[in-house]
Chains A and B, each alone.
Chain A
Amino acid sequence: MTEAADLTVSNLSAWYGESQALHGMDFSVRRGEVVTLLGRNGAGKTTTLRSIMGLIKRKTGEIRLGSEELQKRLPEYIARKGIAYCPEERGIFASLSVDENLTLPPIVAPGGMSMDDIFALFPNLAERRGSQGTKLSGGEQQMLAIARILRTGATMLLLDEPTEGLAPVIVKQIGQVVGKLKERGLTVLLVEQNFRFASKLADRHYVVEHGRIIDTIDAADVAASMSRIENYLKV
């Protein structure tokens, strides 16, 4: 495994065309942590992940991995530094089989999971190796999207709403997977709207609103802050 490093985002602003989506994000993720970005739709969580991954061109501020500045780097470079991204829409390639989807991302560092490990973690995928990517159910697609970045040896995973639109039993399964990843020492930056899911996994929560961090809640304080959190997220 590459030397995992802390991720520090400071004063990050980003734009889609003329619409500014991030207005100075500040947060950090230490190695081995699971950290969530919470917030309503449109708060800027996805944009933050895409900015870290280098997929948004127009941005200012700093994104550091350890001491290295990544803000101006291209996605292919950032991926090689051990950051892997699992997008909200899952990014499963329709014209590729499950197997091909799984083996598509190249190994960026030693220490990634073997295929056996992966199939042990996601038994459903083993059965569907030959199927076309988009013939999978939503839950299977989500697992495939996570599974394929575990092979690569990436040490920092950016997961965008892995539970979105999934049935409770699958959500639970995905929760277990993220727990195991944490045990393996991976760093996870999780975007979630499902707070109950996130609260069981994360060391820390950042609440995002209007492209800024408006609150930070440590895992220890969650119980005490529940009403505050519901206020941020509720209907």
Chain B
Amino acid sequence: MNTAHTHDNIIVANALTKRFHGFAAVSDVDLAVRRHSIHALIGPNGAGKTTMFNLITKFLPPTEGTILFNGKDITADDPARVARRGIVRSFQISAIYPRMSVADNVRMALQRPVGSSFHFWKSVKSLNVLDDRIDELLDAVGLLASRDQAAAGLPYGRKRALEFATTLALEPELMLLDEPTSGLGHEDVDRIADLIKQVSAQRTILMVEHNLSVVAKLADTITVLARGKVLAEGPYSEISENPEVVEAYIGGSDD
């Protein structure tokens, strides 16, 4: 990777490798994500995209390699610490708190920066100061009307929206979205895509996404992974014409 531009890159992964029982899910991957860009990771199933996410957020420890966030080495951090640094992720399956109300879901994110999370002697009402911000966030994803409903009762697409609002609530410097549109209907896909675009203004977004029309619409840079390695990197126009990428997706001719 071009280290001269490190300061422009919010996250730099150097020679990341993750092996499971000898099988390399990710092998020697370099990845640099430019600040204030939308960067997409794409690739066939099993290419190592979700593993990359888990490595960057430290949900998995890398076998080899280092990860720098704003120039600081975060390779040894635990996942909660990484999140506190400003790298917040979503999950492939909607990660919500099913029995909490929609508002309380978002409150869980807003509550941490308040700093009273260990205060077991205080009333939960002390967190009511967050209500305005909660409503603002819920309004942004169109969930304000459901604010007091249990999250479990939301339709699937609305759950994804709630998860998005919760992730956004932490004002992450770097937002990692793992297949934000998977399992959604067309209407919801468009809504989430618009939201991603909207919130990308002041922050960096790294996303794994299968819906290529969403990727085409949003991503500034695309990294194509295949078999745990970087196959190609560049803007959509370049990637979509790259013969190796076409082969990875459609299959090569054997001559």
Binding site for B on A (CB under 8 A): 17-21, 40-42, 88-89, 94, 134-135, 138, 161, 163-165, 168, 171-172, 192-198, 230, 233-235
Query: Which B residues between 10 and 31 are near A, CB-CB below 8 angstroms?
Result: 21-23
Select one of A135, A192, A234 contacting B240, CB under 8 A: A234
A135 / chain B contacts, CB cutoff of 8 Å: 22
* Given the contacts A19-B156, A41-B210, A164 and B45 also touching, CB distance less than 8 Å: yes
A-B contact pairs, 14 of them (CB 8 A): A18-B159, A20-B156, A40-B210, A40-B212, A135-B22, A193-B44, A193-B45, A194-B250, A195-B251, A196-B251, A196-B253, A230-B250, A233-B250, A235-B246
Tell which of B93, B183, B245 has the most Cβ of chain A within 10 Å. B183
- CB–CB A197/B156 < 8 A: no
Select one of B21, B45, B226, B254 contacting A172, CB under 8 A: B254
**A10: shortest Cβ distance to chain B, in Å?**
23
- CB–CB A235/B239 < 8 A: yes
- CB–CB A233/B45 < 8 A: no
B183 / chain A contacts, CB cutoff of 8 Å: 19-21, 42
What 1/0 flags go to B209-245 for Cβ under 8 Å of A? 0101000000000000011000000000001100001
Query: Chain B interface secondary structure, helix, strand, loop or mixed?
Result: loop
Complex Cα spacing A134 to B47, Å: 18
B252 / chain A contacts, CB cutoff of 8 Å: 168, 196
The residue on A at minimum CB distance from B236 is A235
B46 at the interface (CB under 8 A from A): yes
Select one of B21, B239, B245, B249 contacting A134, CB under 8 A: B21
* Given the contacts A41-B45, A164-B46, A234 and B21 also touching, CB distance less than 8 Å: no
Select one of B21, B45, B156, B246 contacting A161, CB under 8 A: B45
- CB–CB B23/A196 < 8 A: no
A195 / chain B contacts, CB cutoff of 8 Å: 250-251
* Given the contacts A41-B210, A134-B21, A194 and B45 also touching, CB distance less than 8 Å: no
Known: A164-B46, A165-B47; 14 extra A-B contacts, CB below 8 A, are A40-B210, A42-B210, A94-B21, A134-B21, A165-B46, A165-B227, A168-B252, A168-B254, A193-B45, A193-B250, A194-B250, A195-B251, A233-B249, A234-B246
A88 / chain B contacts, CB cutoff of 8 Å: 45-46
The residue on A at minimum CB distance from B222 is A235
**A201: shortest Cβ distance to chain B, in Å?**
12
Number of interface residues of B (CB under 8 A): 29
A171 / chain B contacts, CB cutoff of 8 Å: 251, 254
Complex Cα spacing A134 to B250, Å: 28
The residue on A at minimum CB distance from B181 is A42
- CB–CB B22/A164 < 8 A: no
B200 at the interface (CB under 8 A from A): no
Binding site for A on B (CB under 8 A): 21-23, 42, 44-47, 93-94, 156, 159, 179, 182-183, 210, 212, 226-227, 239-240, 245-246, 249-254
Complex Cα spacing A20 to B253, Å: 35
A138 / chain B contacts, CB cutoff of 8 Å: 227
**A163: shortest Cβ distance to chain B, in Å?**
7
B44 / chain A contacts, CB cutoff of 8 Å: 41, 164-165, 193
Complex Cα spacing A197 to B44, Å: 15
A18 / chain B contacts, CB cutoff of 8 Å: 156, 159
B42 / chain A contacts, CB cutoff of 8 Å: 235
- CB–CB A235/B254 < 8 A: no
Complex Cα spacing A219 to B79, Å: 50
Instruction: In the A-B complex, list the 6 residue pairs whose CB atoms are closest, starting with the nearest.
Output: A194-B251, A196-B251, A19-B183, A41-B210, A235-B240, A165-B227
Complex Cα spacing A172 to B255, Å: 11
**A217: shortest Cβ distance to chain B, in Å?**
14
**B106: shortest Cβ distance to chain A, in Å?**
20
**A176: shortest Cβ distance to chain B, in Å?**
11
B46 / chain A contacts, CB cutoff of 8 Å: 88-89, 164-165
- CB–CB B251/A163 < 8 A: yes
A230 / chain B contacts, CB cutoff of 8 Å: 250
Select one of A161, A196, A235 contacting B245, CB under 8 A: A235
**B242: shortest Cβ distance to chain A, in Å?**
8
Complex Cα spacing A174 to B183, Å: 32
- CB–CB B45/A19 < 8 A: no
Complex Cα spacing A199 to B32, Å: 37
